[in-house]
Amino acid sequence: MKNQQTLRHADFPLSPRAGVMPGKGAAFLKSFRKLCRNPLSASGVVIVAVLLILAMAAPWIATHDPLVQDLSRVLSAPSAAHWFGTDEYGRDIFSRIVYGSRVTLYIIFLVTIIVGPIGLLIGTVSGYFGGWVDSVFMRITDIFISFPSLVLALAFVAALGPGLEHAVIAIALTSWPPVARLARAETMTFRKSDYVVAAQLQGASAARILFHYIAIMCLPSLIVRLTMNMATVILTAAALGFLGLGAQPPLPEWGAMISTGRSYMLESWWLVAFPGAAIMLVSLAFNLLGDGLRDLLDPRTE
C-alpha cells in the first residue's frame, strides 16, 4: 500500500490528469473564459443561462397564469397586455412559454442523467474488455442505430402510450447508443496507453481502472456529445409533442403548443411562431455550447 502511495506521488504523472490541472477551480475558470471569448459559444452560454433563470423564476417572470383561460380574449394578436398574444382559450402565450421552459429542462435533465451513465458504462466495458462482451453490446447498439431516432421514439411511445414520462423514456432509449459508441471508441484509444498499463502493473482491479483511469478520460468528449445531444433531445421531444404523443394538454410544452396552434396558424401566426422560436433558440444554444466545448475540450476533432 505504501509502495503505491509513493508511486502515485512520484515526479512523473501516472495519470495524465495529474499536473495538467493545477487548481481545478482556476482551470475551470480559465476554460470558461476561453469558451466565452468565442462570440458564438458565448451566446450559447447566455441563452442557456436565460433558460435556467426563466425556469427558476417562472412565477415572477410570467405575466399571466399559464393555465387560466380567458374566453373573452381568444386568439388576440401580440399587444402590450399579451406580448406574444393569446391562444384559442385566451391563455397568455408568453407566460406559457416561460413555464414551458420547465418542461423542456425537465426532459433534458432526465434524458441526460439516464443516457450519460448508461452510455458510459456500456461503452467503457465494451471497449475495455473487447471480445464477446464487445460484440454483443455493439450488435445491440447497431440495432438501435439502424432506426432513425425519431421513428424509434415514435414506436416506443406508441407502445407505452402518450405522455411526458413515456416520451422521456422513449427518447432515452433511442439516444444512448451513440454515447456508448463514443465511450467505446475513446476507451479503445486509452486501453493500451502507458498510464493504464502502469495501473494494471500496480495490480489495480478492472473496475478501478475503468472508473478511475478510463471513464474519467472519456468525460470531456462525452460531455461534448451529451451537450449536443441535448439539442437533439429538445427537437425530438418537441416533435413528439407536435404529433400529440409527448406532453399532454394543458401542460405548456412547446411542441404541443405548436400542435394545437396549427389549426389556427394561417390567421393567428403567433400561436406557432413563438413556441417554435423558443425551441429553435434553446436547441441552437445547446448546439453552440457543444460546438464551443468541443473546440475547447476535444481539439483532436478539429
Question: Which residues here bind other proteins, judged by CB under 8 A?
Answer: 40, 139-140, 142-143, 146-152, 154-156, 158-161, 231, 235, 238-239, 242-245, 255, 258, 262, 265-266, 269, 272-273, 276, 279-280, 283-284, 286-288, 291, 301-302
CB of 179 or CB of 272, closer to other proteins: 272
Which residue lies nearer to other proteins by CB, 33 or 139?
A: 139
Instruction: Give me the least distance between CB of 172 and other proteins, in Å please.
Output: 15
CA distance linking residue 215 with residue 197, whole number of Å: 15
> How far is it, in rounded angstroms, from Cα 238 to Cα 167?
10
Give the span between the Cα atoms of 263 and 273, in whole angstroms.
13
Q: What is the smallest separation between the CB atom of 74 and other proteins, expressed in angstroms?
A: 19
* Closest distance of CB 256 from other proteins, Å: 12
**How many Å apart are CA 107 and CA 94, to the nearest integer?**
20
Shortest reach from residue 79's CB to other proteins, in Å? 19
Nearer to other proteins, 203 or 299 (CB): 299
Asked if 175 and 115 touch (Cβ cutoff 8 Å), the reply is yes
Whole-angstrom CA distances from 262 to 9, 27, 163, 253 are 64, 48, 20, 14
Q: What are phi and psi of 91, to 5 degrees?
A: -80, 145
Q: Is 185 helix (H, G, I), strand (E, B) or coil?
A: helix
Give the residue with the Cβ less far from other proteins, 4 or 263.
263
Rounded to 5 degrees, φ, ψ at 185 are: -60, -45
The nearest distance, CB 4 to other proteins, in angstroms, is 36
**Cell (9 digits) for 237:** 421531444
Whichever of 214 and 282 has its CB closer to other proteins, that residue is: 282
